[in-house]
Structure 1
Amino acid sequence: MPAETPLEDLLRSCTHSALHLEMRDGYMRDDPLFLRWLDGHRDDPADRSSWWSPWLQLIHETTARGVEVRRARVVSEPVSEYIRFEHEITFRNIASGEQVRWLPRQQTTDLALPGNDFWLIDGQLLVFHHFSGEGDFVDDEISTDPQTVKLSHSAFEAVWERAVPHEDFQLH
């Protein structure tokens, strides 16, 4: 069994909020789920046992404790195939209790955004995700620097305010 990641440990101990900002148009393009989707596989939302995962269970347990989990995605338009895939499987995130919104990148020109995707846990601790140019995970960086936390929180809330709830977001 794989060891818990620092993010999983942080979500287990989170008490009120977990905010996730995603800003890439593609991640881990060798992900078996993405490759199956490219081959035409589509999940049946009614068959939860076929797509439920330990990650979704963790998010479900986190939200069931009253923790607000919000994910905002900044995407280029027209969207990449990877974003089409993410959009289609986002019903999983919703089923786990996450709130998800989408914002076209061209609507972010006047926003100060950090250079990396992140999770902000309880408004105090940041987990920045570093990816290669191809979208492969490289490593995480943890920060509690007050200025960086403030910038990241402000950036997330600015994106969230403009973003469209998942159920209303149309792909272009």
Structure 2
Amino acid sequence: MLDEEGMNAFIEKHFTRSAFRLEVLPQYTVDSDQGNVTSYLAGDPEPSWAHGGPWFDHLAEERVAGRRRYRVHIVTPPLSDYLRYECEWGYVYTTAAGEEVYILDTSETPPPTDDLLDHDWWLLDDQHVLRVHYDAEGRFLGAEPLPPSAAGVHRMCRDALMETAVPFGDWWSRHPQYRRKGQDGAL
């Protein structure tokens, strides 16, 4: 099992063309996010990093280099406070920087399959799979590289998800109710 540093090294090594991620949790407990989540819920203005910074520069550089980073997040309304934060203070900005984010809202579209949708995973360059493990509160426990034979079924799942999920911007524009009060009329 890889720790966070090992997972990041594995992704960097095997991501030369494409990095797909499936996210299924309603909350991720990331120590570096907790202050931002609290600020978001308190109604504070967006953070200074929202319009730039090293991560956004990195995403833009990947895109310019022809490397595709994309994800599908499966959500079931009502959205958790964390997912509202992740959409409004995360995906809005990462998509502007070059990441592709898609939403599969189970209240609008049923998942295309039951296979492989009970955990998070990465598919790198269509060949390398990492299964990501979290505890019940969404804390990262480790990432498990799967054998090469696992890539085929993960590609099929990814393709089915991409046929049914919608681009984040389209989904977000149809759901102003998830924004903070005063942010385009919600909550």
2:22 counterpart SS class: strand
Q: Is the 8 A contact 2:119 2:131 kept in 1?
A: yes
1:8 shift after superposition: 4.8
Percent pairwise identity? 26
1:42–1:153: structure 2 CA closer, same or farther, 3 Å change rule? Answer: farther
1:28 counterpart SS class: coil
1:23–1:120: structure 2 CA closer, same or farther, 3 Å change rule? Answer: same
1:15–1:22: structure 2 CA closer, same or farther, 3 Å change rule? Answer: same
Q: Is the 8 A contact 1:7 1:127 kept in 2?
A: no
Residue correspondences, number: 166
1:88 shift after superposition: 0.7
Partner of 1:145: 148
For each residue in 1:39-81, what CA deviation from the matched residue of structure 2 results, as whole angstroms up to 9, or x when unmatched? 222427xx6x555444433333322210111111100112222
The separation in 2 between residues aligned to 1:97 and 1:123, in whole angstroms, is 20
Partner of 1:58: 58
1:116–1:54: structure 2 CA closer, same or farther, 3 Å change rule? Answer: farther
Task: Select which of 38, 45, 54 maps to 2:41.
Answer: 38
1:13 shift after superposition: 5.3
Using the size of structure 1 for normalisation, the TM-score is: 0.82
Q: Which runs of 5+ in 1 are unaligned?
A: none
Q: Is the 8 A contact 2:104 2:111 kept in 1?
A: no
Aligned ranges for residues 1-172 of structure 1 at < 5 Å? Answer: 4-8=5-9, 10-11=11-12, 14-28=15-29, 31-43=34-46, 49=49, 52-89=52-89, 90-106=91-107, 107-114=109-116, 115-146=118-149, 148-169=150-171, 170-171=174-175
